[in-house]
Amino acid sequence: MDTQNKDDFKYVIQDAGCVYFGRELTYREMMDKDDVPFKFKAVISAHMAKDTSLDSRLTDHILKITEEAFSFRIYEQIKLTVRVCYKEQKRCLGGKIKDKWVHKSCLLGQFCREYRDRVNDGSVLIEDVSISKLALMALSI
């Protein structure tokens, strides 16, 4: 069975350098989770709430964000990285053509230039979003 639950993509995971957010998390759910850094919650309540509703998903917000928006500059400051995946056809040694999954991580600016339109048309899928802990620490609110 190949069923998925939306809750499968609602997670917050931290390692030494980054905080990773599942693609289905809304800003309100991030505010309610204990493992989201307090400073990021402060950024959400002070700045992101002005640009979008707290009930919208982080991924929906970055799909609609413009480069002139203040939230875009904040996300650049905290080095928001979007991990995407897509299928690509590759020719094997025997001449057969196979589908291969390609996984890439890119900063928000590169994502907006290269992948945002492809996500909107369905050929690219967002896996998750991450922010840098060091950049978040250096950000002054």
Q: Is residue 111 part of a domain?
A: yes
Q: What is the pLDDT of residue 106?
A: 96
Predicted pLDDT of residue 1: 41
Q: Would 61 be classed as within a structural domain? A: yes
Q: Along the chain (141 residues), what's the average pLDDT of each consecutive run of 10 residues?
A: 67 95 94 94 92 92 93 95 93 84 94 93 94 94 75
Residues spanned by the domain of 79: 9-138
Chain Cα centroid distance, residue 50: 19
pLDDT score at 9: 87
Q: Is residue 19 part of a domain?
A: yes
**Which own/partner pairs from 49-54 qualify as long-range (CB within 8 Å, at least 24 positions apart)?**
52/27, 53/27, 54/26, 54/27, 54/28
CATH code at 127? 3.30.465.10
Residue-level pLDDT at 4: 62
Q: What are φ and ψ of residue 60, in 5° steps?
A: -65, -35
For 78, the token pair is: 């905290």
Is 1 a member of any domain?
Answer: no
Q: Is residue 132 in a domain? A: yes
Inside any domain, residue 125: yes
Q: How many CA atoms lie within 13 A of 9 on its CB side?
A: 16
Number of domains, the chain: 1
Does any domain span residue 4?
no
Does 3 map to a domain? no
pTM of the model: 0.87
